Every structure is written in structure tokens, then in C-alpha cells.
Amino acid sequence: MTGLYELVWRVLHALLCLHRTLTSWLRVRFGTWNWIWRRCCRAASAAVLAPLGFTLRKPPAVGRNRRHHRHPRAGPAPAAAHRRLRWRADGRSLEKLPVHMGLVITEEEQEPSFSDIASLVVWCMAVGISYISVYDHQVLNCQSSVKVLSPEDGKADIVRAAQDFCQLVAQQQKKSTDLDVDMLDSLLSSNGFPDPDLVLKFGPVDSTLGFLPWHIRLTEIISLPSHLNISYEDFFSALRQYAACEQRLGK
Amino acid sequence: MSWVKEGELSFWERFCANIIKAGPMPKHIAFIMDGNRRYAKKCQVERQEGHSQGFNKLAETLRWCLNLGILEVTVYAFSIENFKRSKSEVDGLMDLAREKFSRLMEEHDVSESLLDKCLYTNHSPHPDILIRTSGEVRLSDFLLWQTSHSCLVFQPVLWPEYTFWNLCEAILQFQMNHSMLQKARDVYAEERKRQQLERDQAAVTEQLLQEGLPASGDPQLRRTRLHKLSARREERVQGFLQALELKRADWLAHLGTAST
């Protein structure tokens, strides 16, 4: 009997993996067509799963304005200026914008697409987001001039801050009772940087993979399937979702 | 625990449970039980009723976890959120500073694994899954350190309406992520070990130089020194942790007597 259950489990997982691979492959290859495909898939899955009582997570509202799709990158100068103005207007149209946005890449099959990440950073800047952090859990020691974070900036930084504080106490510059939340904040290398309001997480892994654990206590985490060939519409729909969310904070 | 709901799974629930159990199962699940107030509003009842239903749901969910063989559950009762980070989270670090001052430890003995052991969750493994209901997609200051590599599952259902199928869905998601997360955790642990070894090597080099010995001389000597360095550190750390354990036991006992 156990063999049978195991077989069913394997089939179920194979189907789920197939669905995921197919969706991400299609997404990379066929922009608009994929949007239609995804809607069909969701409808089909909902039809199948609903009787069983499963509920699907609501995807971030995918940009409906698909007319301004892929090709803008090689556009002429007047079009570029028009786009920048549009992005700025988009930013102002939202109820709230994150002050600090984190971009967490969990995809590991291929090298991260620097051009797509660069697009995301540019859109963030254009829309009016002041602080941007890019995180790759596989990059263990960053030497670039752009602020890219790694696990070093997470728990390891907390450990270093703890060591520094111990040193200060040993040197009698501080008392152990001086340690509170603000003190630890000041000892971390993120001192001066606001906590991320929003993290856009790309890829199939449902985890932050060590991204700034201390700083993300109130961060909204919005997941997108992939950063490869990411469109401005997908990016902006995540911002719309952020703007609409209500942080009740226990009231 | 008499308030944990009695009862076994239905036929279909048992059937699905058996299928899911064919795959990797989480050993520790954390729940952020969010949505009681919205449920009350939706059903047009008192907020208290929402919380009461939420409590019933917790009892039921614990029963499901037991049926599924999940023996450790951590929950965040989400009724009042402290907007500021709670002071108790940094208490572990305070103890560290105090002990360092009384020379039980060197400051370089402070490591990630030591901090792990100082948090109040030190007797539990990190949660395999963190589930948050009601559709909110944030952590709200819950187990931030412990869930850095956990599978995060955000479900739109309100907590009082949580079903066995929602739990299965969450576990399925965990299973889909399992090997990717395991790999990420292993890579992370390897890197931590490598960095510790690097630091230890540098310390041994400095030691040898101070004694007037060649830095890259006898490899056997280096190995012995390395081993001694980490063994001594282990001793200091164990001593500190034992002192911490005693202090905690004392504090808990004191709490117990204070309330009578």
C-alpha cells in the first residue's frame, strides 16, 4: 500500500514540477502569449483544485497594459524621454511607494541576468524609490561598486556587531545593559539605511535565503516567477500591490 | 493537553495524508495565525468570537499536525503587535556581553551558532515551514533569525477558516522547495565553516610568528595548533552555555514563584 501512495506522490510532484517548468519556460519565451497561457492555466487549475478545497495564491495583478511590451529598449530618444516621464508619473500615482526596495534573486539554474537586474534598478530609480538593495544568496563576497548584498550582510553582520559590542563592554566604553534595539541597529553595517519596505523575490524558491533577517521584520514580500525578461508592467504591478496593502500593525 | 481536539482524520484526509507522507515531511512548522479580526467582521460577530474561533482552529490544527507526524509547532498569536522590536529578543546578546566582560569567553568566540544557542528557541530546530494566513505577506517580527532559510508559505485563507487541505497545500509547497532549500542551506553552512577555518588559520599563523616560529613550517604543528584552538574555544563556549542554562532555569523558577 505504501508503494501505491509513493507512486501517487511522485506523479503529483512530477505534474507540479512540469507545470512550474513549463510556465517559466513559456514566460521566458513568449511574453504576451504566456500571459494568456498563465490565465488559462490558473483557470484550469482553479477548476480542478476548487472542488478539493485548495485555494490558489492570488498572483500579483499582472499588468493589463500589454501594448507597451518588450521592444522599448532599443527605442529612439524622444520615446525614451517619454518613458521616463511616464515612470515618474506612475510612481506619483501610487498611494505609497517603498522607500527601500530589496530585490532577492533565488533562481540558480543560470547566471543572473545583469541586464534584467539593471532594468529593475533603473525602473526603481525612475519611479522614485530612494534605496535599492540587490541580493544574491550565492554571491559570497561582493567587490562591485553597486551595493549588492550577500549573506555576509545578514546573520554574519549581526555576529560581527555582537563581537564589537562585547569588545566595547570589555573596554568599559559601554555597559552590557546599554544593549537595546537602537544600539544594535547602530552597530550593524546598515546603520543609516532604512529597513526595506518591500522585497521583490524572483524565482521558484519560497524563502528569503538569509536576506537581512534583522531588517525585514515589517517588509512586504512579493514574489514574481522570474527576473529573466522581466517587463516594466510586471514590476509596476508589484508596486501597485504594495501600495494597496494595509499595514494594520496590530490595531 | 486536553484542549487539543480529539479525533482522527476522515477517509479522504487519511488518503491524502498518506500520499503526502511519501515525500519529505517538515519536522517543525511555525504559524502566524492571522485573520481572526477580519473573520469576525466578515461573519458579523464580536471580535472576541473571532479570537475564540481562532483558538479552536489552533486546537484542530495541532491535531492535524499530530496526525501527519509533525511533532513540533510554534505559533504566533497575532492579537497585539508590538511595533517596536521586543527587548527580549536582544536579551541573549546582553548575556553574551556580560559574560565576555567576566572573561568567560573571548569576543571571537561569538559566532552564528552561539547566537542560535542563546535565543529562547535554542531547544528547537529551525522551523521547516513558516505559514502565514489571511493573505498578508510579511513576517511581522516573528522568528526572523530562525526562518532565514525556511520555506515561507503565504496563504490567503483567514485563520479561523483554515482547513486540513490548506495544511496539505502548505506541505506540498514545502516539498517542492525541499531540495532547493536544502542545497542553499548546505552551501551557506559550507561557507560559514570555510570562513571559520580561514580565521583559525590566520590566528594560528599569528601565534606561530609571535613565538618566532616559521608561519608555513611543520604542517603537523599547524594541525595540532588548529585543533587546540578550536577545542579551547569549544570549552569556553560550553562553559558559557551551561552558565546561561542555569541562569535561565533560575529565572523561570523565579517566575513560577512570583505568580503564586
Q: How does pLDDT run across A108-161, given as a tens digit for each residue?
A: 767 788 889 899 998 998 888 888 899 988 765 554 435 678 898 999 999 999
Nearest chain B CA: its distance from A176 CA (Å): 6
Interface test with A, best of B38, B103, B148 (most A CBs within 10 A): B148
Segments of chain A assigned E as strands: 100-105, 131-136, 148-149, 198-202, 220-224
Query: Are the beta carbons of B97 and A165 separated by less than 8 Å?
Result: yes
Query: Are the beta carbons of B184 and A137 separated by less than 8 Å?
Result: yes
CA A135-A140-A143 angle, 5° bins: 85
Q: What is the pLDDT of residue A75?
A: 44
Q: What is the pLDDT of residue A251?
A: 40
Per-residue pLDDT of A55-92, as tens digits, reads: 554 444 444 333 334 444 444 456 667 887 888 888 88
Nearest chain A CA: its distance from B131 CA (Å): 11
Low-confidence spans in chain B with pLDDT less than 50: 80-86, 89, 93, 97, 100-101
Query: Are the beta carbons of A166 and B18 separated by less than 8 Å?
Result: no
In whole angstroms, give the CA distance from residue B174 to residue B162: 17
Query: Are the beta carbons of A158 and B173 separated by less than 8 Å?
Result: no
Residues of B in Cβ contact (< 8 Å) with A184: 90, 93
Q: Does A18 touch chain B (CB under 8 A)?
A: no
Nearest chain B CA: its distance from A247 CA (Å): 9
Burial of A78 from C-beta contacts in 10 A (0-12 / 13-18 / 19+): exposed
Residues of A in Cβ contact (< 8 Å) with B192: 156
Residues of B in Cβ contact (< 8 Å) with A150: none
Overall pTM surpassing 0.90 (yes/no): no
Query: Are the beta carbons of A13 and B184 separated by less than 8 Å?
Result: no
Q: What is the pLDDT of residue B213?
A: 86
Q: How are strands ordered across the β-sheet holding B28-33?
A: B72-77, B28-33, B129-132, B151-154
Query: Are the beta carbons of A166 and B83 separated by less than 8 Å?
Result: no
Residue pair B78/B140 in contact (Cβ under 8 Å)? The answer is yes
Q: What is the pLDDT of residue B102?
A: 55
Q: What is the pLDDT of residue B96?
A: 52
Nearest chain B CA: its distance from A102 CA (Å): 13
Interface test with B, best of A2, A5, A188 (most B CBs within 10 A): A5
β-bridge partners, A201:
A104, A223
In whole angstroms, give the CA distance from residue A162 to residue B192: 17
All 3 cell numbers of residue B141?
Answer: 517580527
DSSP-assigned letter for residue A131 = E
Instruction: Give contacts of A 152-211 with B, CB under 8 A.
Output: 154-156, 158-159, 162-167, 169-170, 176-177, 179-181, 184, 204-211
Residues of B in Cβ contact (< 8 Å) with A154: 148
Q: How far is CA B47 from CA A38, A128, A245, B60, B153, in A?
A: 39, 39, 22, 20, 26
Q: Does A216 touch chain B (CB under 8 A)?
A: yes
Nearest chain B CA: its distance from A171 CA (Å): 9
Per-residue pLDDT of A196-238, as tens digits, reads: 999 999 999 999 999 999 999 999 999 999 998 899 999 999 9
Interface test with A, best of B137, B190, B199 (most A CBs within 10 A): B137
Residue pair A222/A235 in contact (Cβ under 8 Å)? The answer is no
Q: What is the pLDDT of residue A61?
A: 40
Query: Are the beta carbons of A17 and B188 separated by less than 8 Å?
Result: no
**Using CB atoms, which residue from A9, A155, A213 is nearest to B22?**
A9
